[in-house]
A and B are shown apart, each in its own frame.
Chain A
Amino acid sequence: MHQDDRELLIRFKDPNQKEQAFTAIIKKYQEKLYWHIRRIVIEHEDANDVLQNVFIKVWNALANFREDSQLYTWLYRIATNECLTFLEQQKRKATASFDEMESGLSNKIKADEGFNANKLEWKLQLAIQQLPEKQRIVFNLRYYDEMPYEEMSRVLETSEGALKASYHHAAKKIEDYILNR
């Protein structure tokens, strides 16, 4: 574990420094986690809700955190699971099929105030939304966060080989989407 993370955890276990330590943890990881979440749920309000829920869960479980893994790996795992739970809830609310859910995410991208259909970056976002949920997460972690497969394997609890194959398929699909649409 990184030295600064270890220090933060020690401070967190001290009742007098608990809140300060946790504020420091939020400040340190909020942006990384936010963008990870935002790329999955698309809308800011949804990302904000999910992120706050993630930190509440972290607050409740941090005392029992085993220090045999990195803090950020643990935080990313919680955030990813929270995103998947959120998407599942959205699906149930919409009582719609998976395809309809996917088109719903694409519509959210198109509804963004900065959306520009002519810009390749936005086309890339639309292409990512065509991927299955878990493949999308793998692609985002690798492409945007440049996370090593080893770390990704700890976050997603999947073998490195499976992650490499998944990323390969995802990149191919996205390239095909960008070139042919």
Chain B
Amino acid sequence: MWKKDNIEIELKEMAPALVGLSSQQVYSVPTFYFSALPEIVMDRVKLEVLHTTSSIQPTYQAPEGYFDNLAAQIMSKVKLTAVPGNEVEEELKSIAPALVGLSKQPTYGVPEGYFANINIATSPVKHVQVVSMFSRTRVLRYLAAAVVVAVLAISSYLYLGKTPEASIAAAPVVNVPAAVEKLSEQEISDYLQAHSSTADIEVNAFNLPDTEADFDELIKELPDDELQQFLKQYPLVSTSTLKNS
């Protein structure tokens, strides 16, 4: 062991209050502790040695023959779960599984020595002027814009340039009364029969008086109630007008 230093002088300078204190142990130790300790430690050492040197027996048992078939079992599982490297094959499996596994060897024959003697004439490469894609797309854009503008201008001219009067004037002129006069009674009756909505209209509506005298007679025949109702429906017709009539 080391030769003990005399710490008293040093301690006197540093902390004189500690000089007089006893450096004896204040803690107690169980009786015979030190005499028993070497044996205790040696027992532990022997246990330690046993742990490290003894052949370690497994606590659990595996079924008999388990390890014989283990490799084959694992390999079959690996094959089942293996991710196929070919994307096309995987796709085909989902679309038409019957086609998977068919030989992809060429069935057609090639003349003997075809590929060995194949002669592809090569022409000198022409240096083509490179047109930048940027300017071409720019022209196309302008063209598309011009077409759109033209379509809008023409359609707006056609639509906005015409007034209703102009459109009426542009319509073909048909002389309806003359055309109707040409029609026979039978033809008109047939037309009304064919167009039921028109035929439903009361026949009286078409029996209008021919002259003004006949019209006066017609009014005289009308009952007062109907006349009152007519006035109610058409209030703009002044009473003076009616009196005159």
Contact = CB atoms under 8 A, between A and B. Distances in A.
Interface of A: 2, 19, 22-23, 26-27, 30-32, 34-35, 38-39, 42, 44, 48, 51-52, 55-56, 59-60, 70, 72, 112-114, 119-122, 124-125, 142-149, 151, 167-168, 171-172, 174-175, 178-179
A151 B45 contact: no
A64 to B, nearest CB: 15
Interface in B1-31: 1-7, 11, 14-18, 21-30
Nearest to B11: A171
A26 B26 contact: no
Nearest to B1: A72
A121 B15 contact: no
Interface stretch (B34-42, B72-80, B229-237): B34-42
Q: Which 6 A-B pairs have the closest CB atoms?
A: A175-B15, A146-B4, A171-B15, A26-B38, A171-B14, A175-B17
A30 B37 contact: yes
A59 B5 contact: no
Nearest to A149: B5
25 contacts: A19-B42, A23-B42, A26-B42, A30-B34, A30-B37, A30-B38, A31-B34, A32-B1, A35-B25, A42-B27, A44-B27, A44-B30, A48-B33, A51-B37, A52-B40, A59-B45, A72-B1, A112-B28, A114-B26, A121-B21, A121-B24, A142-B7, A146-B6, A171-B15, A175-B18
Interface string B38-53: 1011101100100000
B27 A114 contact: yes
Contacts of A72: 1-2
Nearest to A179: B17
Contacts of A147: 2, 4-5
Contacts of B17: 175, 178-179
Contacts of B3: 148
B146 to A, nearest CB: 81
Contacts of B18: 124, 143, 171, 174-175, 178
Contacts of A172: 14-15
Contacts of B21: 120-121, 124
B90 to A, nearest CB: 53
A51 B22 CA distance: 25
A59 B27 contact: no
Nearest to A143: B23
B26 A148 contact: no
B14 A168 contact: yes
B8 to A, nearest CB: 10
Interface in B166-207: none
A172 B16 CA distance: 9
Contacts of B37: 26, 30, 34, 51
A85 to B, nearest CB: 18
A56 B48 contact: yes
Nearest to A5: B1
A168 B13 CA distance: 10
Nearest to B45: A59
A31 B7 CA distance: 22
A33 to B, nearest CB: 10
A62 to B, nearest CB: 11
Given A31-B34, A44-B27, A178-B18, A22 B7 contact: no
A105 B34 CA distance: 24
